[in-house]
Amino acid sequence: MRILVVEDDPDLNRQLQTALADAGYAVDVALDGEEGHFLGSSEPYDVVVLDIGLPKMDGLRVLEDWRRNGRRFPVLLLTARDRWSDKVQGFDAGADDYVPKPFHMEEVLARLRALVRRAAGHATSEILCGPVTLDTRTGRVSVDGNPVKLTSHEYRLLSYLMHHQGRVVSRTELVEHLYDQDFDRDSNTVEVFVGRIRKKLGVDMIQTVRGLGYIAAPPGTET
């Protein structure tokens, strides 16, 4: 999953980036509203963390413009403003959730997990695909209850496919959602990761759709 953090406080920005990367996200960051607006308008993110009080371009203006131009990714607002009217204004601008500062990082991570899974149509932290279970809360994967150890990139790829199971996902889309903007992207690495995941899972739940990409579906499902 790929996330954008738009926060002008350098220390908080860095803390968020570190915590999100440790949680398995590919993270892009911006320190002002203009840069954040550009990235959110040009890159395909799964979720965005957006501060309201930003230099150069206010966070609410950024959000309103994204929504006006059809950017539909979930947005979690961060703000030091605690008036109820500010919260209402944020939701009316198109925010999906809201966390006042100061906050506990664990709460932000939990809210982001909820936003991502709801956007993909999942109600709980455990996503099932046949015998495979992916727990977004703990970052653990199991097959028939037996734990499977994956690298961070393998987990990220499997998580994206399972969040969007039943839908063909192109290699290009996977690359765009697996890596941050500074990563040297190569679509061939997707094939390598898929091969490794298949071997570790030992079940045929990632199917190749020739010329189109991959689909996560329970074993025995025809595509």
Half-sphere exposure of 16 (CA within 13 A, CB side): 28
Residue-level pLDDT, tens digit, the chain, 223 residues: 899 999 999 999 999 999 999 998 999 999 999 999 999 999 999 999 999 999 999 999 999 999 999 999 999 999 887 777 888 889 999 999 999 999 999 999 999 999 999 998 888 899 999 999 999 999 999 999 999 999 988 999 999 999 999 999 999 899 888 887 766 666 578 899 999 999 999 999 999 999 899 999 998 776 5
Peptide bond into 102 cis (omega under 30): yes
* Angstrom distances, CA of residue 122 to CA of 49, 127, 162: 20, 7, 10
Alpha helices in 23-124 (DSSP H): 33-42, 59-68, 84-93, 105-119
Q: Which of 139, 137, 105, 142 is nearest to 124 (CA)?
A: 137
Amino acid at 155: Y
CB 125 within 8 A of CB 137: yes
Domains belonging to the chain, first-starting first, are 2-119 (3.40.50.2300), 126-216 (1.10.10.10)
> The whole model's pTM is what?
0.85
Q: Please tell me the predicted confidence (pLDDT) of residue 24.
A: 87
Cβ-based neighbour number of residue 80 at 10 Å: 12
Residue 183 pLDDT: 65
Q: Report pLDDT for 219.
A: 80
Report in angstroms the alpha-carbon separations of 150 from 12, 139, 175, 196, 218.
29, 10, 18, 9, 19
- Number of Cα atoms under 13 Å in the Cβ half of residue 60: 12
